[in-house]
Structure formats: structure tokens, C-alpha cells
Structure 1
Amino acid sequence: MMIPSNYLLPLLSVLLLSASATTSASLLDNFSKCLSVNSELYVPSSTFFSQNNSSFSSILESSAQNLRYLVPSMPKPEFIFTPLYEAHVQAAVICCKELGVHLRVRSGGHDYEGLSYVSETETPFIIVDLAKLRSVKVDIDDNSAWVQAGATIGEVYYRISEKSKTHGFPAGLCTSLGVGGHITGGAYGSMMRKYGLGADNVVDARIVDASGRILDREAMGEDFFWAIRGGGGASFGVILAWKIKLVPVPATVTVFTVTKTLEQCATKLLHRWQEVADKLDEDLFIRVIIQVANAGPKGEKTVTTSYNSLFLGGAERLLKVVEESFPELGLTKKDCTETSWIKSVLYIAGYPSNTPPEVLLQGKSLFKNYFKAKSDFVKDPIPETALKGLWKRLLGEDSPLMIWTPYGGMMSKISESEIPFPHRKGTLFKIQYVSTWQDGEKNATKHIDWIRRLYNYMAPYVSMLPRAAYVNYRDLDLGMNKNDSSFIQSSVWGYKYFKDNFNRLVKVKTKVDPDNFFRHEQSIPPLPLCSEHCLA
């Protein structure tokens, strides 16, 4: 009997879905059995979320920041595993290797291109979500803390402030960043000009390597330890925890935000900021947040530039510092708010005033958007004529955002090769470009095309050879590993993120993960069938 063709397509779809469900179920069953054999600690069934589990979508979406990678057309993991202990993570690595399953690891879900929860290049894949590994143990006497990878940086700040009002840690401004991935890319924040990056202030770590061993700094060796502090996430192993070095902060710090529109001479002021921002007192951090708003004299659309600042000291000394080095800002005592360091964290992160610090324990993001982002580093001030061209382009987009982050201070004193993060002396500031939207896939192409055109426009005014980029602002436009990643292919984006440190990262990768078990669209590649002399 012939089956009418109009029945074939629905029938085929049902069969494919059925086969897929069977595959997922058998994979989960095999994985679960493998874990029970390889984990010294019991693995409850409640740690698994398959696609037919009613909680699957909520767990997948829980910490995913870029909604572009949650649309129905994006590949989904076969299941999500939420380990309760470090031994569970160790067993998961062993079992993924044994079963030939591709692994993605998520700590905070902030990867700009969704690489911690989506794989567009390899299927099937699973997610190991570290959200339940979030212990923060602060030792004030030792000026240190052990922090598990699933904790957010906001939780870390809060736990430090619980023990001391005069200790802090120099890492991210966004408080929902997962510590595991955040530090692997560098981790900059409002104290970077005083103390450097988060990764500059890590003294030990625990990691699961490609053989399924849990290693600390002594066991992994200095090359391996060097690579994981700024060499990008998920190339060398699964970070379980960092031991961070705490830094002193004053009991009283000062914050302010001063906003100028185009009609208030924003162009000239921003040009002046470029000339002084990296030379200011290292206790002073002034970033510039550039947006479009209906803030013109008659409510028309204009560009706003907001000078958003943390000063490690009181308002009186701050006013003297600004008067001496950046009087053009016109800062007054009325603009300044004296506060504690932990409350300054909330202020810089954009929380409403009077928000209690306990909100940091929720580990939740203030914003989730569909977005595309890019980055640049600037070595010479951008001329006013170019800024005017920039304003025209910003005014042509719905919700553009630029953040200019000042360098100098300690950032200029640390060698480019001290850790893999190379953007140091000679950098005036970093630019982050973002376009956000809320209508899903509908107009995504329009917004992505706009940010690519803006990036092209900025080319003459930013770093060159290479045109540098920040790995924690992941940008797949810079290049991607295709199937078997090669050194030549990966070096296109690798030198932009890491400059010459890319060569050393490849040597470390070849030594610690020669089979490229830990891989993604922009992971560090190993050299194929080649000893270390290839990059000597």
C-alpha cells in the first residue's frame, strides 16, 4: 500500500523526534551509570534535567544572559547536569570522555556568544552547570578567599564585606558574573587602576584536567596555572575554585555620575577625558557610559555621556584630585556620595539607591537582552571630528551602548606576559560596543549589521596589528574554529585576544590537552602530532 505524500512529512517528523528522544534517554542513562561508577559521592537523579523534564527550560534559561542563544532555532543540550560536589564534576569529565559526548561548562552564563550553554558546531552536547558549587570561604587573617566557580562575583564581594569593611577584591562591575569563567578572561573592574585585574590577584586554583584529575597550583605546574588566569574559559579544563588575594579598601569611598549631552559640550569633554583618564590618580576610576536618550533641550534624541566613577577615599580629597587633573568635568561636592566599598559595588552595578547589599546573594542579573557586542583598545585619543561621526552612527540605532574603561595605573605596571591577558602599557582605554533589542530574531540582522558597520568605522582610531579585543567580550565575528581547529585558523582571533601570549597558550594546550577534549568555537587549539619545539 502506498502512503500519500502529504502524510510522509509529518510521519517522518514524528519518527525523527521519537529517535531523538530515545537517543537522549539512552545517553542520559549511560551517563548516569558511568557517573555512579566514577564518582566517590552519590549522584542523585535530581541533578539531571533532560529535555522532557518540566524544569529543563527554566534551568537552561536561569543564568543565560544573551537571549539570542535561547531562541527555538538554537541547538539545545541533550540534558543538563548540576553537580553538587567537585567529585561530580570530575566524574562528568571522565564520563564525557568515555562516552564521546561533547561538554559545555557554565558558571554564570555570561559568555557573550552563549558558548557555555550552546554548541552550534558539535552535537550531541551536554551542559555541566556549576550553579550549586558556590561556596565562598573568606580568611581575613590570610587576606585570601577560596571561591567555588558557581558563585557570582557579587556573592564574593558580599562575603568579603561580611568579614571586613576594609577588604575587597578587584574584579567585575556586573555582580551576576560567575566567578569560574569571569577570572579565566582577566576580570576587570573599578579597582583595576589600583590593583590590576581579578586574574592578577589569584594565588591558587583547583581544576579538573582532560584526564579527569583534580589539580591545584602545585600539581598543575606554573605553565598550566599561567594559562588559566586570562587565557579564556573552557580550553584547559573545568575550573572548580579560585584562591583569590584580598586587597585593602578604605572604610569610606566616594562615587559619582556626571552626565553631559551633545548640547552640553560632550564632544570636547570626552576628548579631554581621553587625554587624562589613564594618567589620573590610581585611586580614581572614571569610566564613560555613552547612550542615546531623549534628553535634548526640547526632548529630542541626543547622545549622553555619563562619567561614572569610584574613588578610593573621601569626597574632599576626590574634589582636589579632579580639580588638579580634570577640572573640565566641573565636579561639585553635590555630585559626590560617600559610602562603603560594598555599597559602591551596588552603585557601579546600577542598582537603585538604598538597595541593601543582601541583594548580591540572589546572584541575579539586572538585565537580560538580545544583544551583540564587540570591543577595542585605544592607544591615541580619538579626534573630535571622528567623535562627531560616531554620534551620527549612534543616533541611527535603537538602543546602542558604548562603555569606555580607563587604563593606566597598575594596568601599565604589569608586564604583557605576566598572565595571558596582554592589554597593558600604552593602552589609554578599552571600548565595549553593544546593540540590544527585545524583539527576538525578528530584527536581529539589522542590529548585528549596524554594530559591524560601527566597528568598521572605528578601525582607523583603535589598536592595529593586531586590532586587539577582550576575550571576555567574546566575538565570533573575529573567527571561529571549524571542526578540527588549527593553529593557523585560530591565530586569526587568538592574536587579537592574547597578542604573542597566544603562542604560549597553544604550547600549554598541546601539553595538557593534546586530544583537544576541552574545545569550543574559540578554544585554544593544540598543535597536531607535534612536540613543543614547533613553537619554540
Structure 2
Amino acid sequence: MPTDESHVQAAVTCAKKLKVQLRVRSGGHDYEGASYASEMEDPFVIVDMAKLRMVTVNIEDSSAWVQAGATIGELYYRISVESKVHGYPAGLCTSLGVGGHITGGAYGPLMRKYGLGADNAIDVRMVDVNGQVLDRKSMGEDLFWAIRGGGGGNFGIILSWKIQLVPVPEKVTVFTVAKTLEQGLNKILYKWQQVADKIDENLFIRVIIQNSKTPKGDKTVIGLFQGLYLGRADQLVKVMQRDFPELGMQKKDASEVSWIESVLYIANYPSGTKPEILLEAKPSFINYFKAKSDYVRTPIPESGLDGLWKRFMEDESAALMIWTPYGGMMSKIPESQTPFPHRNGTIYMIQYVASWMDGKTSESRHMEWVRKLYNYMTSYVSMFPREAYVNYRDLDLGMSEDGGASFIQASAWGSMYYKDNFNRLVKIKTKFDPENFFRHEQSIPPLPVMENKENIDLETCDVQAVDISPNPGRSDPMYIVYSRKLSTA
């Protein structure tokens, strides 16, 4: 547990010399535990960043430096102490470690207005594979591009981020409206899919879907439509009546609060909880779970929803889905601006969660259920590739048991997490970490680069090769080669 940046440098230097692998954790929220556990046989050391958690806010230039071990809740609190009209667009779960959170993208309720946490990261301090501390200027724009959405544990150890704060109203409005199947959830949810990404970009409405019971005790499904509006309640009601009247949201359903109070509300803290609880940096619950993710580009028809509910109610435990709307600023930022590619054309993201409390006893049953539900959704979600969110790591998508995945092997999950940006990430990995020191079960692999490639005639030689450079066919190509027989021109 380093208490100084130099300790992290020493850890990298010593681990390289002793050929010991490092695992790096900031908040410990890795969904498959890859930041603190390993499927590989090699011994490893955990570098736990929890004691590097300083936050320095500069309201004059609307920025802050935050160390990797701080939680997103601590960051939010420190911002709120300095200003009532500044915020930061990042996660809804307040115990997330900032270091890894931003490396994967960092979405949250402000993203439709301001984009992701990674979109608003403007500088960094990171220890590279050589044990050197780099900032944005010294690492260059390629590496800085890669670490803002290219996933944790791939390129170095984040020490701290400099982030751009964003303006928020002194009062925002939050609400939750519940609808069951008997109250027309199917039709309301179908309409939500039509408007969620197109509605006023100041409005974020996610849907939390879970099993429930009717007053008679029968099984049903309930959807909690939870919203944050960057404005007052009167204006929110007008927007909802104009664009989403099917929900039946009324002013009595809404509460006007400060931005930091909205953070507590969305994180499901009890009403009246003081913001200082965010300094405890603890998750609100602890359980066993398996999660998966999807992106939806075409509304799921009501018939598809009917089939979903039948399968959803097969699990008696805490089965859960969260539908998170995109659109707004997320549609305006090009897919290639950061490694996070899920931009224009995405209506919403789905997170599937099966959770349980009794350890291994019922694990297989819950794991099987969430996988079956995921398989059912295949025809309703994004295709070619079927997309996934890297911060919801899912080893079902494929993994390397020794961390030495080939380009072809890694593209199985890489294309789902990063789409076309995966190729550029591989090229950057090859340049900055060619020996693959920073690795895990789903890390970005480096490639052996062909020397004197200008002398190889790929048209006539006995070789299978693919140009994986960011602009195939243009200058500075990089090839992955699948055979050994080469003839030179």
C-alpha cells in the first residue's frame, strides 16, 4: 500500500527485475477481480492505491487533481465543499476508485450533458513500464488517448488524474416513479426506448428493473424510473408532459436538491443522509454477483419484452437490470476521440446482475440464469460486434490464462469493449509496453512488429497479414502476420 508516488515507481522497478507480475487496484470494483486476483499461475503482487487519495480542487480554473486511491464519492464531496455550482460527470456508485474508473470511461447521470469522466480528464500522472512518472506532455497524445477509456491494467499505474469540472445548477431535481407490469410497464418502457436518448440533454432517466410481488403475492416485475434534471421541478414537469407523458410523472414525485444531495439520492442513501458519509469511502452493500452488459441501438419490441420478463422471473433472488440512457453529448463525441466507442447510435446500455449472499452454495444456478438471459437478448442488442462495457469486465467474453493473448485471441473481447479502437490500442501497447509487463486476463496485447516491412511484398509472398494501423492502407502501417514463410521483394 504505497503512501508516496516513489513507492509505486519502486514496485514497478523491482517487479520487473524479479519477474513478478503486478496487479493494481484503486477501489477494488473490478467485476471479475482482475485487479486483485489471478487465473494465471505466475506469482503476483498487489499494488493497492488506497492510501493515495488526496483531492485538490481549484475552482478558479474549474479543475481538480485527484489521486487514484480516492473514491468518486470523496471527489464529489470535495468539489461540493468548494462550490455549489460545480460537479464532475462520473459514476453513480460512490465507492468506485477514481484511478481505474476513469481508465474504463466512467459514465454517470451527467453524461448526456457533459460526456464521460474520461472525456473530462485533462492531465494525468502515471508510472510507466520503466518506472518513470509521466504526465500528458511527457507521455504524448497517443498514450494519453489510450488510458482515457482503454481499460485499467494495460499501460501503467495511474497515480492521479487532473479533471475538468463542469457547471451544475445550484438546485437540481430528482425523482423516482415506479411501474409494474400490471401498471403498464411494457408500454411505458417501450416508449422510454423511443425518447430516452432524444429527450432534453439536461435530463437523465435510467430504469432499474427487478422482481417484485403484486398485492396478491403473485410474481411481477417492477421498473423504477429514476431521474436527474439539471434544473427546477416546474421546468422538468413541462419537459416530461411534452416528451414522456406515458410515465405520468408529476411535480409531487420530484424533489429539488443540491447536486451533492442528488449524488446521495441516486446512490440510494436514505433521505437526510449528510454528504460527509461519502468520506467513509465504503460500498453501501456487499454480496456475491455476476454481471454482464449490452448496448441497444434499436428499441426492443413489446413481444421481446414479454419474453424477457418470463425469463427474468425465473430467478427468485436479487435479479436486476439497469437500463442507462445515452444520447445528448454522448452522440456528439466521435467514437475515435477516446477508446470508449459506444457513442452515436446507442440508445441505452443494459447491465444484467445476478446476486446472492451464500457464497458458493448457489453460485452455479445464478451464473447460469444471467448467462441464459444474456443469450436470450442476442437478437435485440448491438451486433457485429456485440458491444460490452470494459468497466463491467466479463470473462465469459474470453480470456488469456497466461496474459499473453495473441491479437486474434484478444480481439474476441477487445472488439466488444473497444470496437475499431482496439487496433489502435494494440499499436500503442506495442510501442509503450512491448514485453507485456502490465497484463491480466483481458489485457491489451502487444504485437511483434515486422522489421523492414517496406521490403516485404504482401501481394506475392506466402503470408497472411492484416494491416491493424488506425488508418489502414495509409502511411505508417503495422501488420499482424499469421505465417512464417516470407519472401522479400
Separation of aligned partners in 2, 1:239 and 1:368: 26
Task: Give per-residue Cα distances to partners, 1:505-534, cap 9 Å, x unaligned.
Answer: 000000000000000000000002446732
- Equivalent position of 2:36 in the other structure: 117
- Residue 230 (structure 2) pairs with residue 312 (structure 1): yes
Which residues in structure 2 correspond to 1:247-266 (within 5 Å)?
A: 247-266=166-185
What is the SS of the residue equivalent to 1:212? coil
- Equivalent position of 1:15 in the other structure: none
Which of 25, 29, 42 lines up with 1:106 in the alignment? 25
- Equivalent position of 2:104 in the other structure: 185
Task: Give per-residue Cα distances to partners, 1:76-112, cap 9 Å, x unaligned.
Answer: xxxxxx0000110011010111111111000000000
Which residues in structure 2 correspond to 1:355-434 (within 5 Å)?
A: 355-397=273-315, 398-434=317-353
Q: Which amino acid aligns with 1:261?
A: T
Which residues in structure 2 correspond to 1:163-312 (within 5 Å)?
A: 163-294=82-213, 296-312=214-230
TM-score (norm 2): 0.92
Q: Which ranges in structure 1 are unaligned for 5 or more consecutive residues?
A: 1-81
Which of 46, 53, 58 lines up with 1:134 in the alignment? 53
Task: Give per-residue Cα distances to partners, 1:366-425, cap 9 Å, x unaligned.
Answer: 011110000000000000011011101111112210000000000000000000000000
- Residue 45 (structure 2) pairs with residue 154 (structure 1): no
* Contact residue 507 and residue 535 of structure 1 kept, 8 A: no
Which of 348, 367, 375 lines up with 2:266 in the alignment? 348
Task: Give per-residue Cα distances to partners, 1:205-226, cap 9 Å, x unaligned.
Answer: 0100001100000000000000
Which residues in structure 2 correspond to 1:472-491 (within 5 Å)?
A: 472-483=391-402, 484-491=404-411
Separation of aligned partners in 1, 2:407 and 2:125: 27
* Contact residue 136 and residue 156 of structure 1 kept, 8 A: yes
Structure 1 segments of 4+ aligned residues over 6 angstroms from their partners:
none
Q: How many residues align structurally?
A: 454
- Equivalent position of 1:438 in the other structure: 357
Give aligned-pair identity as a percent.
67
- Equivalent position of 1:526 in the other structure: 446
Separation of aligned partners in 2, 1:329 and 1:445: 37
Which of 363, 371, 374 lines up with 1:455 in the alignment? 374
Q: Which amino acid aligns with 1:445?
A: S
Tell me: CA distance 1:404–1:535, structure 2 relative to 1, closer, same or farther (3 Å).
farther
Separation of aligned partners in 1, 2:132 and 2:349: 37
- Equivalent position of 2:255 in the other structure: 337
What is the SS of the residue equivalent to 1:310? strand
Separation of aligned partners in 2, 1:529 and 1:168: 44
Q: Which amino acid aligns with 1:257?
A: T
Separation of aligned partners in 2, 1:529 and 1:189: 39
Which of 428, 434, 437 lines up with 1:514 in the alignment? 434
Separation of aligned partners in 2, 1:406 and 1:446: 30
Q: CA-atom RMSD, angstroms?
A: 1.0
Residue 126 of structure 1 and its aligned partner are, at CA, apart by: 1.2
Separation of aligned partners in 2, 1:245 and 1:122: 41
* Contact residue 293 and residue 351 of structure 2 kept, 8 A: yes
What is the SS of the residue equivalent to 2:426? helix
Q: Which ranges in structure 2 are unaligned for 5 or more consecutive residues?
A: 452-475, 481-489
What is the SS of the residue equivalent to 1:243? strand
Residue 343 of structure 1 and its aligned partner are, at CA, apart by: 0.3
What is the SS of the residue equivalent to 1:446? helix
Which of 414, 418, 426 lines up with 1:494 in the alignment? 414
Residue 535 of structure 1 and its aligned partner are, at CA, apart by: 4.4
Tell me: CA distance 1:530–1:182, structure 2 relative to 1, closer, same or farther (3 Å).
farther
Deviates further, 469-478 or 122-131: 122-131
Which residues in structure 2 correspond to 1:11-26 (within 5 Å)?
A: none
* Contact residue 288 and residue 405 of structure 1 kept, 8 A: yes
- Equivalent position of 1:91 in the other structure: 10
Q: Which amino acid aligns with 2:396?
A: D
Task: Give per-residue Cα distances to partners, 1:227-274, cap 9 Å, x unaligned.
Answer: 000000010000000000000000000000000011101111000000
Separation of aligned partners in 2, 1:400 and 1:267: 18
Separation of aligned partners in 2, 1:299 and 1:142: 56
Which of 219, 226, 241 lines up with 1:323 in the alignment? 241
Tell me: CA distance 1:535–1:167, structure 2 relative to 1, closer, same or farther (3 Å).
farther
What is the SS of the residue equivalent to 1:278? coil
Q: Which amino acid aligns with 1:326?
A: F
What is the SS of the residue equivalent to 1:412? helix
Q: Which amino acid aligns with 2:156?
A: G
Task: Give per-residue Cα distances to partners, 1:104-128, cap 9 Å, x unaligned.
Answer: 0000000000001101113311111
Residue 443 of structure 1 and its aligned partner are, at CA, apart by: 1.4
Residue 327 of structure 1 and its aligned partner are, at CA, apart by: 0.6
What is the SS of the residue equivalent to 2:196? helix
Separation of aligned partners in 1, 2:414 and 2:372: 22
Separation of aligned partners in 1, 2:212 and 2:391: 27
What is the SS of the residue equivalent to 1:374? strand
* Contact residue 102 and residue 122 of structure 1 kept, 8 A: no
* Contact residue 449 and residue 478 of structure 2 kept, 8 A: no
Task: Give per-residue Cα distances to partners, 1:493-512, cap 9 Å, x unaligned.
Answer: 10000000000000000000
Separation of aligned partners in 2, 1:515 and 1:269: 52
What is the SS of the residue equivalent to 1:259? strand
Residue 185 of structure 1 and its aligned partner are, at CA, apart by: 0.4
* Contact residue 84 and residue 258 of structure 2 kept, 8 A: yes
